[in-house]
Each structure stands twice: as C-alpha cells, then as structure tokens.
Structure 1
Amino acid sequence: MFQDSELDLVASLLEQAQRILFITGAGISADSGLPTYRGIGGLYHDRLTAEGLTIEEALSGEMMALRPDISWKYIAEIEANCRGARPNAAHRLIAAFEQEKAMVCVLTQNVDGLHADAGSHNLIEMHGTVHRLRCNDCTHARQVADYAGLQLPPECPRCGGVMRPDIVLFGEQLPVRAIERLEHMLQAGVDLVVSIGTTSVFPYIAGPVVWAARDGVPTVEINPGDTEVSRIVRHRLRMTASEAMHELWYRIHPHEPAED
C-alpha cells in the first residue's frame, strides 16, 4: 500500500514537471541483461585478471598508455558479454517522456549506448561510450556497432596509432564538455531530479540530487537497495528500473500501453 501511494506521488510529479533530469547507472541496464564488472555476480567479482591485476588497474588510463593490449583484452571481454543487449522499458519510457516535456536530460554513468539506442537525444554520457573509438595520437574517431572482427588493439587508419574506446578509464579526468553541459542545465533550472539504478558514490552523480534537495526541487530515487542519496531524496521507490517506469507511465497514461 505504501509503495502504491509513493508511486502515485511520483507519477504526479512526473506529470506536472516540464524540466526533468534523469540520472542513471548500471541498475537501469541490468534489466537489459547486462552484467556488472564488479559486485556480486559481476565479471570480476573478488578475482584478479590473468596478469594478477585488479580490474581497476587493467582498465586504467595508465595501463592503456603503457600496455594497451592488456586494457583492450578486458574492455573487449566486457563488450562481448554485453553484445546484443537492447534498451529495456526504462530506457524507452525515459525517451518517451522527452517527447512530451519541454526538457528531459539524461545524465548517465553507463557506456553501453542504450539510452541513445532508445531514442534519448539530450544525453550526457559522463563516462563516454564503447561504441565510439578515438585515436590516442590524432583526432580521428569512428563509430562501431560492436568489437566483433576488430584487431586488438585497433590501429588508427589515419596515423597508425592505437585507437581506444572513447570512455573514461580509471585514473582519467571526466570530459570537460560533459561537465559544462551538466552545469549549464542545472543553472537553467529543473523541476524534478530522478536517480535510477545508481549507488551515487561519485560526487558528480550524487551532486545534482544534493543540490536539488537543498534548493527544494523534488527528488526521486528508483533503486531496490540503499545508496548514498537514499536518506536525502524526497521519494523512494524500492523497485527495479523497468518495473518502476512501467508503473509510473501507466498512472500518467492509463489508456496508452507502456513499452514492453
């Protein structure tokens, strides 16, 4: 009963809001069958790589510079485990809200590209995307659907340098342009902040929620477990991303079927 009343309240907020920031993490893509690389059941839970490294060491900017073959080995392994995943209802319904509202922005930690595949256009991919490669030595970049058939590490066709996924590796700085876009969007103002499927351990992910709560902007968290922002959000839905978005969409659009 309590969850139903919370769903009703959050649905009302979503219906009334015209400027919404969705913040998403690995939990939203878990409903598409994507594994995590850490955590219980993750690809690298409680084990070292074949080289005796932690996955953070293998996937660091330093390792990509010194031994790109090692970094690429595990990037490709993660990509292979995620290959073929499609956007789920949560991705698609967020994109659907973008068509109805004055402004919907998605700030995501995920590098899987599923928000873009679902049709979200106002997208801040803070950690980049595995579907774009860029050269370490020149400005050449290219889009790829997946890594099938790639020679690893890939060679830049323009200069012969090593190409890498356009993602933020451990120890690297966040992209300045992405940070500036987030800052400009928050300065313009939002009516609602919704955090979905992220533990919010990074300051730049928790920050917009903290800012909104401080300034009286309604905040919502969709996550089955407790996170760094659970104690400060106004509304909590202890549900998976797809389940919650289905329920919320139905309450706002009772005569329109939610995405399956």
Structure 2
Amino acid sequence: MADDTHREAVQRAASLLAPAQSVLFVTGAGISADSGLPTYRGVGGLYDGEDAEEGLPIEVCLSGEMFRTRPAVTWKYMHEIGRACRGAEPNAAHRAIAALEAERERVWVLTQNVDGLHTAAGSKKLIAIHGDAHELACTRCSWSTRVTDYDAIGFGDDGVPRCPREGCGAIVRPAVILFGEMLPSRALETLYAQLDLGFDAVVSVGTTAVFPYIAAPIQLARAKGKATIEINPGTSEISSLVDVHLRLGAAEAMTQLRAAMTP
C-alpha cells in the first residue's frame, strides 16, 4: 500500500512538473544527505541534541559574535564540519536539478546549503543564500581563494588561518553567513527579482522551511495557483500547503520524478 501511495504521489508530482518551464527548487540539508553529509542542527546534525565542548549551543559557536570575539572557536567547528563533509560528491538529486536547468527555460535553485554541491553538479542559476564554505576571504584586504579541504589552508598557533598576502596577515573567514549575521543583499535581490517574475512550479527539497525566506516561495506560488511540491521524508512547516508531498529521500524522489517525466 505504501509503495502504491508513493507511486501515485510521484505520478501526480510529475504531471505538475512536466509542463513547467520556470521552476524554483528550494533546497536544504536533506538534499545532501544522500551524498553522505549530516543534516545537523543549525548548520546541519553533527551536534543534534548536544552542545559543543565549550558547553555552548553550536549556534553560538558558529555565530558572527563568536567569530568577532573568539574566532578560534568558530574555526574549530567549521573545521570539524569540513572534515565531516570531506570528499562529498553531488548525488542524483543535485544532478537531476542541474539537468532540468539545461532543459527548461528558467530553472533556479535557492539553497540553504553551504556545501557547494549544486555548483559541482552544474547548476548555474544558483542563489546560495547562506554562502559557500569552500570560499575563503580575508577580513581586511581583498584576498580570497577557493579550497576543497580546510586542512590545506594552514592554521596558526592561535587556531585561525591568516591572510598570506604580504603585509596583511589578518584573519581569514569562510564566505558563509554565521548565526546572527545579515543575509547577503545581492542574493536577496536576485531572489526577490526571480520571485517577482514568478514560477510555474516551486519544489522544496530536504528542508524544514523554518526560515520565512525559505517558506515564502511555496506560499507565494500557492497564492498564485502555481504548482507546489515538497520532497521530504518527514513533515515540515510547508507540508500542509503543497499540492504534493513526496515522503522520499531527495535522490530517490528526483530519480523517480525524472523517470516519470520521460516520454
């Protein structure tokens, strides 16, 4: 019975998605779970239900305030997250979304993830609203670089990496939005511009949609009578709003959707 329910839901979702020429995919940690990345609390489950060693919530350790006052603490946990995510590759869900971008008139991705896997899969119309952990930038000068492994950048005795540019030596930070920091204005402007254009369909993949800017695209699409789909094994803030809720993992759901839309 469960399999029949899944098949019916996939067929219904495919019938909504197949004619859509403009699609927004809103993705969260769940889409990268099939790549071996943890869906940890806050920045992701590595610390689900537990505080950090310092006795502080992980959200405090990974906050903008902590980075300003005790950058070594923030870098300690960014480095730990980096090790947990080392070697991760895009999975079938990332690749399916990138393929749809190449096939349809206008396909965008709004992602909360900082793992860079959408970029690696080939998505170009991407709004990485929380940044990209692989991008590093000096906090003083214009130096920046891209790395695949934090172990390659070198940490000083004070536990933080520093700018290699001669005469600088300021602390380097990952180009991610830490807790308590403002979202990037350029990314928000792009998001609002695309939402103003509207989408034939909005698909939420692997996110609990607790942030207003993540739930808003589904809410707007529903208000305009456009197709809405959620891919999430569990229940989220938007589950009661969507036309179809696929209770499947991201890779399995996107693989089945692609197959169902293939003539």
**1:130-149 to 2 correspondences below 5 Å:** 130-149=133-152
SS in 2 for 1:154: coil
Counterpart of 1:47 (choices 50, 62, 73) is 50
Could you report, residue by residue, the CA deviation over 1:178-210 in whole angstroms, capped at 9, with x for unpaired residues? 110000011112100000000000000001111
Cα shift at 1:42:
2.6
- Equivalent residue, structure 2, for 1:156: 163
Could you report, residue by residue, the CA deviation over 1:205-228 in whole angstroms, capped at 9, with x for unpaired residues? 001111111111110001011000
Write the distance in 1 (CA, Å) between the matches of 2:15 and 2:49: 42
Cα shift at 1:253:
2.0
SS in 1 for 2:18: helix
Write the distance in 2 (CA, Å) between the matches of 1:199 and 1:46: 17
- Equivalent residue, structure 1, for 2:232: 223
Is the aligned partner of 1:34 residue 2:34?
no
Counterpart of 1:14 (choices 12, 17, 20) is 17
Counterpart of 1:252 (choices 245, 258, 261) is 261
**Coordinate RMSD, CA, aligned:** 1.4
Normalising by structure 1, we get a TM-score of 0.94
SS in 1 for 2:213: helix
Write the letter of the residue equivalent to 1:17.
Answer: A
Counterpart of 1:113 (choices 107, 112, 116) is 116
- Equivalent residue, structure 2, for 1:174: 183
Kept in 2, the 8 Å contact 1:37–1:78? The answer is no
Is the aligned partner of 1:24 residue 2:27?
yes
Cα shift at 1:10:
1.2
Could you report, residue by residue, the CA deviation over 1:89-113 in whole angstroms, capped at 9, with x for unpaired residues? 0000100111100011000000000
Write the distance in 2 (CA, Å) between the matches of 1:144 and 1:71: 18
Could you report, residue by residue, the CA deviation over 1:101-134 in whole angstroms, capped at 9, with x for unpaired residues? 0011000000000000000000000000111001
Unaligned runs of 5+ in 1: 255-260
Write the distance in 1 (CA, Å) between the matches of 2:164 and 2:151: 18
Write the distance in 1 (CA, Å) between the matches of 2:163 and 2:73: 18
Write the letter of the residue equivalent to 2:143.
Answer: H
Moved more, 211-220 or 44-53: 44-53
SS in 2 for 1:148: helix
- Divergent runs of 4+, >3 A: none
Write the distance in 1 (CA, Å) between the matches of 2:7 and 2:35: 25
Unaligned runs of 5+ in 2: none
Moved more, 140-149 or 216-225: 140-149
Write the distance in 1 (CA, Å) between the matches of 2:152 and 2:257: 41
Cα shift at 1:3:
2.5
Write the letter of the residue equivalent to 2:181.
Answer: E
Kept in 2, the 8 Å contact 1:213–1:219? The answer is yes
> Percent identity of the aligned residues?
55
Write the distance in 2 (CA, Å) between the matches of 1:199 and 1:37: 12
Write the distance in 1 (CA, Å) between the matches of 2:212 and 2:38: 24
Write the distance in 2 (CA, Å) between the matches of 1:37 and 1:186: 29
